[in-house]
Amino acid sequence: MAFSAKQLAALETAAASGKLSVQLGDRRVQYQSLSDLLKAIEVAKRDVQTAAGMGGPVRRYVDFSRG
């Protein structure tokens, strides 16, 4: 299930208010713990970033020489 920006906002609002129950469209989701809710937020953030074309994290490698 890919998350939308609106669903991400709902998850973040629930976490900020201390609630573990979130209404996502026509479904109500009850998380077991705040840790589970925070994991869902991270997944939702990745989904929203991917949909926006931002992709994943950037990796840079540095190479040094004494030339």
- Is 26 part of a structural domain of the chain? yes
Q: Is residue 67 part of a domain?
A: no
Contact present, 50 and 4 (Cβ < 8 Å): no
Q: What is the pLDDT of residues 6-43, one digit of tens each?
A: 999 999 999 999 999 999 889 999 999 999 999 999 99
Give the per-residue pLDDT at 1. 61
Q: How many domains does the chain have?
A: 1
Amino acid type, 34: L
Residue 66 lies in a domain: no
Q: Which of 42-46, 47-51, 59-63 has the highest mean pLDDT?
A: 42-46
In this structure, is residue 64 part of a structural domain? Answer: no
pLDDT for position 56: 59
Specify the pLDDT at position 6: 93
pTM for the structure as a whole? 0.73
- Would you tell me how many other CB atoms lie within 10 Å of the CB of residue 12? 16
